[in-house]
Amino acid sequence: MTDNVHAASEALVEFVQRHPRLWVITGAGVSTDSGIPDYRDAAGQWKRPPPVQHADFMGSHSVRQRYWARALVGFKALSDARVGGAHRALAQLETLGHVEQVVTQNVDRLHQRAGSRRVVDLHGRADLVVCMQCDYRMMRHALHAEMAHLNPAFVALDAGHAPDGDADLETDFSVFQVHDCPRCGGIFKPDVVFYGDVVPAPRREQAQAALDRADAVLAVGTSLMVFSGYRFFRHAHARNLPLAALNLGITRADPLLSLKLSAPLTPVLEATVKRLQST
């Protein structure tokens, strides 16, 4: 393992030195050290049933009951998550002047808490909720407090944590009271791009503009199975930008890569930063 980390960090240092302005895309693997479960295994397959679909959430009150009841139990894993070594290393890489943009598919805001400033939350942020009718917004912890007051029996439940604040909870959700928008009575939804939804154009355009300024692309902790992230790799490949990935497992972009590093994320990134700081 030590040799693997050393070889990977040496290769990544060389890649960064050749291409100093990196466009970095991150995924769930960056936050697993922070206690947030990921979705996929090393082969890129689902570890559990896929997350809720946007159309199902919007079209079914029972789906929303199930979603919010499970979130009331499981969101603690997301809200209590602490910045990990990979987040800190990427923030240091930015401080060293090597990061043009971090585009994260995560919704946990841990990059910002680690000190990264050039961040696009491609899939939104889980700590906010938005009314889908009038665009009224509130902090998610305040919404959870309201739902806890309405549903005290659910507060006492316990279940295993699942990705993005979900919980492995199965019970009778039909009695769960969902708290709707206090302004218009509309549907509250996390300010997150659910599966089947689309990334808002301003976010996508900001990420694309940064990609057009970059020297190379680096994927960290993501399989790139979701098209919203993979599309940028296709665009970068069409522009003949060098593409690298640091990930424990396959990525959808493997055939396009000029450098693939299958090694533990945090040790490799920390070693890379240390080496770059000394040069």
Residue with tokens 């499970």: 70
**Contact of 120 with 45, CB cutoff 8 Å:** no
| Catalytic residue check, 6 | no
Task: Determine whether the annotation assigns residue 134 to a binding site.
Answer: yes
Q: What number of other Cβ atoms are within 10 A of residue 95's Cβ?
A: 14
What's the per-residue H, E or C state across the chain?
CHHHHHHHHHHHHHHHHHCCCEEEEECHHHCHHHCCCCCECCCCCECCCCCCEHHHHHHCHHHHHHHHHHHHHHCHHHHCCCCCHHHHHHHHHHHCCCEEEEEECCCCCHHHHHCCCCEEECCEEEEEEEECCCCCEEEHHHHHHHHHHHCHHHHCCCCCECHHHCECCCCCCCCCCCCCCCCCCCCEEEEECCECCCCCHHHHHHHHHHHHHCCEEEEECCCCCCHHHHHHHHHHHHCCCCEEEECCCCCCCHHHCCEEECCCHHHHHHHHHHHHHCC
Token code pair at residue 141: 């912890």
Task: Determine whether the annotation assigns residue 76 to a binding site.
Answer: no
Token code pair at residue 163: 């990705």
Q: Which of 111, 123, 144, 179 is catalytic?
A: 123
Task: Determine whether the annotation assigns residue 131 to a binding site.
Answer: yes
Task: Determine whether the annotation assigns residue 181 to a binding site.
Answer: yes
Token code pair at residue 63: 């789906």
List, as residue ranges, the binding site for Zn(2+): 131, 134, 181, 184
For the annotated binding site, the residues are 131, 134, 181, 184
* Residues assigned a catalytic role: 123
